[in-house]
Amino acid sequence: MSYFVQLRTFVEVYRCRNISRAAKNLGLSQPAATAHIQTMESVVGKSLFERRHRGVEPSNAAHDLAGQVANHLDAIEQKVASVRTRSSDVSGTITLAGPAEYISYVASAQLANLLQAGNVDVVVLPGNREQIYSALDTGVADMAITASLPDNKIYDYEVLDSEELVLVAHRLLAQSLEGQTITPALLNTLPVVSYDSQLPLIRQYFDTVFKQSCTSKIIARCPDIRALAGIVRTGVGYTVLPDYLCHDDIQSGRLIKLGPQGPENNLYLAWRKGALAHPRLNYARDVLMAFSNINKYAK
C-alpha cells in the first residue's frame, strides 16, 4: 500500500510544528491532516508528535522518519511540478519578500522577466531580515530574497546574486583625504552615516578589511540604505554600501570609493521546503534563477 499522501502530510506537519498550519498549506482540513498522522503512527508503530500548547513537538521517531523521506518526497513533487509547468499555462499569484533596496535597484528587472513569461501576478513585500523570514515562515510570502544564509533545515535556497561592500564618501571629503592612507584610525576621526546604531555593513567592512572596530561618531541613522547614499551625496560623512547601490554615483563622480576592496555577500532566493511542489513556484524559481547574477559590474 502507498502512503505517499500521508507521508506528505507528516513532512509538512514536521516542518510547521503545527497541524492546522500544515493542513492549510496542503489544502486539507485539520481532521484529515490529523487522520494522516494517525495512519503513519500506525504504520511505524510509534508516536510521531506530542501536542503542545501552540503546536506539536516531533518525537525521535518523527526525526528519524523525516530524515529518511523528506528530501525524496520533495524531489518527486518537484519533478511532477516541473512536468506540469511545461505542459500547461502557469497562473496564480506569487508573493516575494525581500530587501527594498535590492528589489528597487536590481530585482525589478528579474521580476519583469517573470511577468512576461506567464499568466502570473507578483506581490512584493519589502522588509528587513526579520520581516522577510517572518513572511516566509507564516506563508504570507511564497519566496524570499535574503542577504543572510537561510537555515537549510527549514528552507531550500539557491545563490541568486552577490554584492560587494564599498566604502564611499562625497568627492569633497575624499579630496580632503588625498595623500593619506585610509586606515581605521583615520576613518574613526570622521562622522559616519548608518542604517542603525549596530553599524550593519560598516561593521562587516571594518571587521573583514581592517580587523578592527568602527568607532566613528554616527551623525545620521536611517533604516533605508538608499537614504544613506543620498545623505552622503550631500557631503556629510561616509558610509558602506552594496556595489549595486552606489555604482552609478561612483561612475558619475558623485561618490568616491575609499579604502581597500570590501567583502562580498551572497544574496539568496529562498523558499520553504516542499514549496516547489506548486507549479507556479517551481516556474518562478526557474525564471528568477535563469536571470540571476545580472548585477555584475566590470571591476
Residue 297 pLDDT more than 60?
Answer: no
Amino acid 58: pLDDT? 93
Whole-number Å distance between alpha carbons of 280 and 299? 36
Domain ranges of the chain: 3-85, 93-162+265-296, 164-263
Average pLDDT over residues 211-231: 93
Whole-number Å distance between alpha carbons of 282 and 79? 9
Whole-number Å distance between alpha carbons of 182 and 177? 8
Cell of 73: 518526497
Amino acid 292: pLDDT? 66
Cell of 286: 526557474
CATH number for the domain whose boundaries are 164-263 = 3.40.190.10
Average pLDDT over residues 50-58: 89
**pTM recorded for the entire structure:** 0.68
Fold that domain 93-162+265-296 belongs to in CATH? D-Maltodextrin-Binding Protein; domain 2 (3.40.190)
* Cα torsion angle, 209, 214, 218, 223, sign: positive
pLDDT band at 287; cut points 50, 70, 90: confident
Between 213 and 79, the more confident residue is 213
pLDDT band at 256; cut points 50, 70, 90: very high
Average pLDDT over residues 93-99: 92
Q: What is the pLDDT of residues 100-152, one digit of tens each?
A: 888 888 877 778 777 775 677 889 999 888 999 999 988 899 999 999 999 98
Average pLDDT over residues 30-45: 90
Fold match flag (3-85 vs 93-162+265-296)? no
For 198, list phi and psi in degrees, rounded to 5.
Answer: -85, -5
Q: What is the DSSP string of 80-138?
A: HHHHHHHHS--EEEEEEEE-HHHIIIIIHHHHHHHHHTSEEEEEEEE--HHHHHHHHHH
User: Residue 75: which H helix or E strand, with range?
Assistant: helix 60-87
pLDDT band at 298; cut points 50, 70, 90: very low
pLDDT band at 242; cut points 50, 70, 90: very high
In this structure, how many other beta carbons lie within 10 angstroms of the beta carbon of residue 107?
A: 25
Whole-number Å distance between alpha carbons of 152 and 67? 13
Average pLDDT over residues 241-246: 93
Listed residue (11, 2, 26) closest to 64, CA to CA:
11
Whole-number Å distance between alpha carbons of 99 and 107? 10
Q: Which CATH architecture has domain 3-85?
A: Orthogonal Bundle (1.10)
Amino acid 84: pLDDT? 56
